[in-house]
Each structure stands twice: as C-alpha cells, then as structure tokens.
C-alpha cells in the first residue's frame, strides 16, 4: 500500500490521512514522532494525531515502551486521562488519534503563576487522585507522575498523560512487587530507589504527594544540586512545609510523603481527610460517549475504505505487532460475515432478550445496535455497541465493543453470552 507523505499537501492544499483525517499544523516534534492537529472528516471533531516512525522505534529498542503505552491507554478510559481514540498502522508508520488537550501542561501553569491557592490545588489534586485510583483499579501503575505529564483542557480539567513507563499488575515478580527502577528523580518514591522491590500503587501515591507539595509551595520538597544528597533526603523524608500551608494540608502532605510505604496513606483514607473533603466536590466532567454518530433509520452499513481495513487487518493492526494478547479481549469481538446486516441485528436482539439481567436494545441505525443493561453494575450499566461496516457488496465487518460499565463484566458477557450466540457466524 502507498505510504502517506505527511509533508505533501493534496491538490486542495491539505494533507489527508487516507480519507479519514485532515491533518493541520504540527503541534510538536520529537526524535521518533510528530504530533499534528487533525480533523476527523466523519465527525468534524479535532484530535491530536501522533505519527510514529516504526523503524526508528524498533532500531533504538523502544518497541516495548510503545507497546506498553498503547496497551495501557486502551485499558484506561476516564475523564481525567487523555483518551486514545484509535491506533492505526502501515508498514512504516504508527498513527495515534488522541484527545486534543489544548490547555498545556500543569507544570507551565505553576511556572507562570508560582504556587496555587489551596482551593485550586485541591481541585487539580482531586482529579489526579480520581485518575490514579481508576488506573490502580484496572491494575495499571503510572510510575512517572509529575506536573509535566498532567495536561489541562480548555475548561481547565486535568488530564493524565504519558504512560510510557507504566506497568501492569501482572508485571510483578513472585514477591508481589515491581522491581524496575524508573521515574523522574525528584518525584520517585524512596522504595523505588532502594531497588528491593516496591508496590506500584504506593509508589504512585508518593509521587502524588510530591505533586501536591509543588502545587501548594511552588517548589519541590526534595531539592539538592547533588542527586545523591537529594536521594538521601527522599529516603529520610527530609522536607519542610512552608508556613502558608494550612494545618490540614500539612498533615496530608506528611502522610503522603511517608518514606515507609507500609504506613503511607492509602487512597481510601486520603479521600476521607479533612483537606481533601473541604468544600463541595464538583461533579465530574464526563467525556462524550465513544459511540459513533447516529445514522438515519434505514441507512446502509457504512462503507470501509482501505485505511479502515489496514487498521482492522491481522497483518497490519497493532495488536499482533505492539500489544499483548489481552488487547483483543479488551476491544471485544471483530469478525467478517456475509450478512445481511439485518440478520446480525436480529441475532443481537435475541441475545439481549435472553441474557442474564436483561439488556435493553437501542438501534443506532438499521445496521447498528446498542445493548444496555437494566441493572447497574460496579461501574454503572453495562453497554455493548455493535457497528456494522460494508467491505464489499456481500461482505460485512462487525465490530463489537464495550460502550459503558465494568470491563470485567463486559468480558464475561463476551465469553459466556456473545461468543456462543454468534459462534456460527464468527
């Protein structure tokens, strides 16, 4: 397939990524990637399109880091985490269509204005803890939390980014601990430096404590030109809170920057502290549902172009190249069938009627359906969306994904109900 030359405009003066994304100005450029503003031609919404040179990534041995970041971002969807919309690939490039976050880094805000008022710091810190706790509930540990990796959107909402150093719960060794020393020195927990193993969740909370200190003080708690001396201060928990810290803020920072991980405060206890609970907590700003735009009743399945096929193909998809086997489980079921679309929709409707707990059926079009549970689960009502695309006059591709609710509940539904119901056409 012909590669896209991102530097060459079309006849209309625009660069278009295989008919799906119109590329705009460059937002940033690094050794292995460029990031563009891009517009989804189907929805009209802007995204950040990160274009990675696959050959350079492989050459310097960063494949695992890219794989890890993709796998993590597919697993964690949260209002305070930068969203990965889709990942596409050709033989030489990887394309990340990501949420466009325009407000810059939290670090820049601190650098410009110095320390923040406690109410402003509390607002950002609550959002940070919400995102970090969600990651931990999904078995993901960030391991490089710092203001430079916290972005702000147009409304001032915090978004956690850069999961390149993160780890999964199944990366722990037989002792139940992680052992890779990583992170940014001023924000890293003492047990990570100690190289005897560490709990990823507790190490992340230490970093959150450093971030809270920086928000309130405008400076780092552990500073020294000599990194060895700085590490000694970190191991001892040797820091002082400025006099303008409130009593409750001082207590919370001290509990977070406890050098003993076994006595360091947990998220469950943190959210009950007076400082964290002070003033009403605003309702979370929810991201828009990832479902496709509504089509008119009776409309034919959307036609797939070549780039759709590349992103779904076993030969070109990132799943076998850059992701673990669980990515397929996380993304649901994708299969080709000779249709017709109405038969697939009817099959899903029959499944919904007899599924345990019952599912309510909503048609997004004549060739699309959404199933939503009537009972609330651990993470809300389970919702499953099925999109049907026409590849050829007699061939359809059906893409079934989680559209809401708890992932474990969704995976059980796929294994116990959905796959058996569709086994003859999968």
142-166 confidence digits (pLDDT tens): 999 999 999 999 888 999 998 888 9
Q: Can you give the pLDDT at residue 122?
A: 96
Strand partners, 15: 23
Q: Which residues, including other chains, have CB under 8 Å from residue 282's CB and lie 6 or more apart?
A: 123
The average pLDDT across 84-112 equals: 87
Residues tagged in the binding site annotation for ATP:
50
Question: Residue 2 corresponds to which tokens in the numbers above?
Answer: 């012909």
Is 12 a residue whose pLDDT tops 70? no
Q: What tokens were used for 213? A: 């200190």
The 3-class secondary structure across 267-334, one letter per residue, is HHHHCCCHHHHCCCCCCCCCCCCCCCCCCCCCCCCEECCHHHHHHHCCCCCHHHHHCCCHHHHHHCEE
Mark whether 424 is an active-site residue: no
CA distance 349 to 361: 7
pLDDT of res. 153: 93
Decide if pLDDT at 293 tops 80. no
Res. 332 pLDDT band, cuts 50 70 90: low
| pLDDT computed for residue 172 by the predictor | 85
For residue 296, the model assigns a pLDDT of: 44
Residue 282, pLDDT > 70, answer no
Closest CA to 86 of 294, 317, 295, 388: 317
* pLDDT in the model for residue 3: 41
Say if CB 339 and CB 357 are below 8 A apart.
no
Domains and CATH numbers, the chain: 15-99 (3.30.200.20), 106-277 (1.10.510.10), 332-422 (3.30.310.80)
pLDDT of residue 160: 96
Higher-scoring residue by pLDDT: 227, 301: 227
pLDDT at 174 over 90: no
182-196, 205-219, 267-281, 322-336: the lowest-pLDDT one: 322-336
- pLDDT higher for 56 or 210? 210
Residue-wise pLDDT for 216-266, tens only, equals 999 999 998 899 999 999 999 999 999 999 999 999 999 999 999 999 999
Higher pLDDT, 95 or 283: 95
Which of 32-36, 162-166, 366-370 is predicted with the least confidence, judged by mean pLDDT?
366-370
The more confidently predicted of residues 195 and 376 is 195
Between residues 401 and 147, the one the model is more confident about: 147
Task: Report the mean per-residue pLDDT for the chain.
Answer: 80
The Cα 286–Cα 252 span in angstroms is 28
Q: What is the percent of the chain with per-residue pLDDT over 70, rounded to a whole number?
A: 79
Q: Which position among 133, 144, 153, 199 bears the catalytic label?
A: 144
Q: Binding-site residues, please?
A: 50
């Amino acid at each position: 397939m012909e590669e896209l030359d991102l530097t060459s405009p079309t006849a209309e003066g625009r660069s278009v990524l295989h008919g799906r994304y119109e590329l705009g100005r460059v937002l940033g450029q690094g050794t292995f990637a460029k990031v563009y503003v891009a517009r989804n031609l189907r929805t009209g919404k802007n995204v950040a399109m990160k274009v990675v040179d696959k050959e350079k990534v492989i050459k310097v041995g960063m494949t695992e880091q890219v794989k890890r970041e993709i796998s993590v971002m597919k697993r964690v969807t949260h209002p305070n985490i930068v969203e990965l919309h889709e990942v596409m690939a050709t033989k030489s490039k990887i394309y990340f269509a990501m949420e466009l976050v325009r407000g810059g880094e939290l670090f820049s805000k601190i650098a410009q204005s110095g320390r923040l008022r406690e109410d402003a710091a509390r607002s950002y810190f609550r959002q940070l803890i919400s995102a970090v706790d969600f990651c931990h509930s999904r078995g993901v540990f960030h391991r490089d939390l710092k203001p430079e990796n916290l972005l702000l959107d147009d409304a001032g909402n915090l978004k956690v980014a850069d999961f390149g150093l993160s780890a999964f719960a199944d990366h722990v060794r037989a002792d139940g601990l992680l052992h890779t020393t990583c992170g940014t020195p001023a924000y890293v927990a003492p047990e990570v430096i100690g190289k005897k193993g560490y709990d990823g969740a507790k190490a992340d909370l230490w970093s959150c404590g450093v971030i809270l200190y920086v928000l309130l003080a405008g400076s780092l708690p552990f500073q020294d030109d000599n990194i060895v001396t700085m590490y000694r201060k970190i191991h001892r928990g040797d820091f002082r809170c400025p006099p303008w810290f409130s009593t409750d803020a001082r207590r919370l920072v001290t509990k977070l920057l406890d050098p003993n991980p076994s006595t360091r405060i947990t998220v469950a206890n943190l959210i009950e502290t007076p400082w964290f609970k002070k003033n009403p907590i605003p309702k979370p700003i929810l991201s828009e549902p990832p479902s496709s735009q509504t089509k008119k009743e009776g409309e034919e399945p959307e036609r797939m172009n070549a780039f759709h096929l590349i992103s779904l193909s076993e030969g070109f998809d990132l799943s076998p190249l850059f992701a673990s086997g669980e990515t397929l489980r996380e993304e649901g079921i994708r299969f080709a069938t000779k249709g017709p679309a109405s038969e697939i929709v009817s099959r899903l409707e029959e499944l919904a009627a007899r599924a345990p707990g019952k599912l309510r059926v909503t048609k997004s079009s004549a060739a699309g359906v959404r199933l939503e549970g009537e009972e609330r689960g651990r993470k809300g009502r389970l919702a499953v969306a099925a999109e049907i695309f026409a590849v050829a006059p007699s061939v359809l591709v059906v893409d079934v994904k989680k559209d809401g609710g708890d992932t474990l509940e969704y995976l059980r539904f796929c294994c116990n109900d959905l796959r058996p119901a569709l086994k003859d056409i999968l």
